[in-house]
Amino acid sequence: MAVDGKWEITINSPMGAQKAVLDIKADGPALSGTQTAMSSTQPIANGKVEGNALSWSAQITNPMPMTLEFSGTVDGDKLAGSVKAGSFGSFPFSGGRSA
């Protein structure tokens, strides 16, 4: 499953829809890259690829410092899953490859 490239996702959080852009690359079972949201870019951490399943985490500082933990699946040019936002719980996200 080719996951390399840019992806645009929308996180459906209690603060409304939050957009993010992933620029990711798989190297065997390892996933690396960056995540850009709210005018800030962070490297992704703990990235893993297993078949069509992906997981990674990102440290954010806006609107408050916390670690977001993502898990999702790739289906062609679509990516969907959930993100755990610390003590705020989990929220769905979805998106697709960026043109």
Q: How far apart are CA 63 and CA 37, in angstroms?
A: 11
pTM: 0.93
Where does the pLDDT of residue 1 fall: very low under 50, low under 70, confident under 90, or very high at 90 and above?
A: low
Q: Are residues 23 and 32 in contact, defined by beta-carbon separation less than 8 angstroms?
A: no
Q: Which CATH number fits domain 5-97: 2.40.128.20, 1.10.220.70, 3.40.980.10, 3.30.300.30?
A: 2.40.128.20
Question: Would you say 23 and 37 are in contact if contact means Cβ atoms under 8 Å apart?
Answer: no
Domain boundaries, given as residue ranges, for the chain = 5-97
Minimal CA–CA distance to 34: which of 61, 6, 53? 6
What does the pLDDT look like over 13-61, one tens digit per residue? Answer: 888 999 999 999 999 999 999 999 988 899 999 999 999 999 999 998 8
CA distance 6 to 22: 5
CA distance 49 to 41: 21
Q: What is the pLDDT of residue 89?
A: 93
User: What would the mean pLDDT of 54-81 be, rounded to a whole number?
Assistant: 93
Per-residue confidence (pLDDT) for residue 68, from 0 to 100: 94
